[in-house]
Structure 1
Amino acid sequence: MRKKGITLLCIVLSIAIMQINIRLTSAHENLNLFDEILIQTKSKTVEYGLKTCFETQEDSKEICNYLISTLNLDNKKTILTRTENKDSYNVDFSSENANGYVEALKYKNKNLITINISNVSNENGLASLKNKVSASIGCRGKNIKYFQYLKAKVKETSENGGANNTNVINQKIIKILKFYGTENIETVNLNNGLSTMAYTRKFDEKIINNKLIDFNYAVCNYSSGKYIIIGTPEIITTY
C-alpha cells in the first residue's frame, strides 16, 4: 500500500514538473526577441518603425487610399499630403507621434507598394503594428517583405558598463542571440559604438558578404546617452 502511495506521488510530481516546463518553454518561445533584448539590457523604447513592401495588380491610387483608410491614418489628428504623377502615387502622413508614407510605383504590369510607418513611443509596438499592416494588406499583396526597426535608450548602470562602455551591452545581446541558436554573428566598430549582424532564422533574410543575415543591431553613444538600434534584416533608419 505504501509503495502504491509513493508511486502515485511520483507520478503526480512528474506531471506537475512537466506542466511547469511546458509553461516555461511556451513563455520563452512567445517572448519577442526585441523585448528580451530590452529586458536584459534594461533599455526603454523611444521609437520603432515598420517598412512593408509588396506587389499588387490593383490600381495604385485605389490601393494606397484603401491602406490609408484601413490603417486608420485618415483621421483628424493626421495630416495627409497626396502627390501623383505618371508612374507613381504617394500619400505622406504625419501626426504628433507618427509619420511615414504609402507609395505605389508602376513597374511593368504591376504596382510596387511601400508602407513606411515610424512611431515615437516608450513601448515596443512592433508586433501589433506588423499584425495591423498584414491584416490591412490581406490577399491584395504578393511577395510581402517586412523591415522592422526599434530604437531604445539604455539605462546607465554599473551592470551595463557605465556611460561610455558599449562592449558590455554588445556582449549581453550576443549572449541572447547565441541562446537562440543564431549564426553568422559579426561585429564591427563604429565611430560611436558597435554594429553587429547575425542570422536568427526569425525574419526575412538577405545575403551580405555571401552570408545570410536577418538581424542587425548597433550599440551607440550619443550626447544624450547610450542607445540600442535594432533592425531586421538590417537597420533601415539613420544612426
Structure 2
Amino acid sequence: MNKKIIISVILCIVCIMSLSVKSLAYKLDTDDKSNSDEMSFYKKENRSSNKADLFKNIIKATNGKIIEYGIMAEFNNSDSREKTVNELFKKLNENNNLVKKSSSNSESYSIEFHGNSIDGNIQSTGYSNHNIVKVDIVKQDNKYSLYKLNSNLDSILKDYNTKIIYYKYIKVKIENNNINGAYNKVIKCLKDIGDSNIKTETLENGYTSTTYTGQYEKIYSAGKPVDFNFSVVHYSTGTYIIMGTPEIIETY
C-alpha cells in the first residue's frame, strides 16, 4: 500500500515538473518573439531617424564632379502677387548683383533673374482663393553647397507663416561614359540604406528611377509614395547623374 502511494506521489511530481517546463518554454518563446519584434521596430525607427545624405554618398561612390545644383520652394500665399514676388527678389538680391526681367498676365506675376553663376525665377500664380508661390534657384558650382543654399532660402522665407515644400536637385558628371556602371553604383547606395523598392524606366540615352527611401518629404505618383528620383543619362558632352528629392525639378 505504501509502495502504491509512493509511486502516485512520484507521478504527480513528474507531471507538475513537465507542466512547469512547458510553461517556461512558452514564456521564453513569447519573450524571444517580443524582443525580436521590438528589435525590428527599433531598426525601422533607427532607419527613419538617421537620415543618409544620399546626394553626398552617390557623388562619392561614382567619383562624380558637381556641375550645378538647385532648389525650388513652393508655398501658398494670399498677398498681392506682384508685392510678394518683388519682396522676395529684393531679399534674394541683397548680396547678389542680379539682373531681373519681370512679366505678368491675368493669372500670374513673375521675375526671372540672372547673376554670377546663378539663375532663377520667382512666380506667384492665382489658384482658387489663394496664390501658389514658387522660388526656383539654380547655381553653377563645383562645390557641394546644396544645403547651404537651402538654409539661405529658408531664412528668406521664414517670415511667411505657411508650410513650405522644398524640392532639391543636383547634377554631376562622371569621368567615364559607363552608364550601367554608374547606375549600379547609385542602386548600391540606395540598397545600403535598406531601400530595394526601386522603379526604373529605360530612356533613349540612359535610365530614370524613382523610389521611396523614407529620408525626405514625399509626394505621390500613381498612388504610391516617392521621395527620391535619379537619372543616369548620356549626352554629346558626357555622362551625367541627375538626382532630385522628392523629384527632379529641372528638365534633362
User: For this structure pair, what is the TM-score category when the shorter chain's length is used for normalisation?
Assistant: 0.7 to 0.9
1:220 match: secondary structure: strand
Alpha-carbon distance between aligned partners in 1 of 2:201 and 2:128, rounded to the nearest angstrom: 40
Alignment partner of 2:230 out of 194, 217, 230: 217
Alignment partner of 1:38 out of 45, 59, 67: 59
8 Å contact from structure 2 (residues 211, 227) kept in 1: yes
Superposed CA RMSD in Å reads 2.1
Alpha-carbon distance between aligned partners in 2 of 1:85 and 1:209, rounded to the nearest angstrom: 33
How far residue 167 of structure 1 moved from its aligned partner, in angstroms, is 1.6
Report the AA paired with residue 176 of structure 1.
C
After superposition, the C-alpha distances for 1:140-189 in whole angstroms (9 at most, x for unaligned) are: 14232111111100122xxxxxx3x3122111111111221225212221
Counterpart of 2:33?
none
User: Between Structure 1 and Structure 2, how many residues are aligned?
Assistant: 204
Counterpart of 1:186?
199
- Rg: which structure is higher? 2
Alignment partner of 1:52 out of 55, 73, 85: 73
More strand by proportion, 1 or 2? 1
1:122 match: secondary structure: coil
Map residues 1-239 of structure 1 onto 2, 5 A cutoff: 32-72=53-93, 75=96, 77-156=97-176, 163=177, 165-239=178-252
2:142 match: secondary structure: coil
8 Å contact from structure 2 (residues 73, 164) kept in 1: yes
8 Å contact from structure 1 (residues 184, 212) kept in 2: no
More helix by proportion, 1 or 2? 2
Assess, with a 3 A threshold, how the Cα gap between structure 1 residues 224 and 87 changes in structure 2: closer, same or farther: closer
Assess, with a 3 A threshold, how the Cα gap between structure 1 residues 62 and 74 changes in structure 2: closer, same or farther: farther
Identity across matched positions, percent: 32
Alpha-carbon distance between aligned partners in 2 of 1:177 and 1:38, rounded to the nearest angstrom: 13
8 Å contact from structure 2 (residues 119, 138) kept in 1: yes
Provide structure 2 residue ranges, at least 5 long, that are not aligned to the other structure: 1-45
Alpha-carbon distance between aligned partners in 2 of 1:136 and 1:224, rounded to the nearest angstrom: 36
Moved beyond 3 Å, runs of 4+: 84-87
8 Å contact from structure 2 (residues 52, 193) kept in 1: no
2:197 match: secondary structure: strand
- Structure 2 length-normalised TM: 0.74
Provide structure 1 residue ranges, at least 5 long, that are not aligned to the other structure: 1-24, 157-162
Alpha-carbon distance between aligned partners in 2 of 1:155 and 1:46, rounded to the nearest angstrom: 12
1:203 match: secondary structure: coil
Assess, with a 3 A threshold, how the Cα gap between structure 1 residues 85 and 206 changes in structure 2: closer, same or farther: same
Assess, with a 3 A threshold, how the Cα gap between structure 1 residues 136 and 196 changes in structure 2: closer, same or farther: same
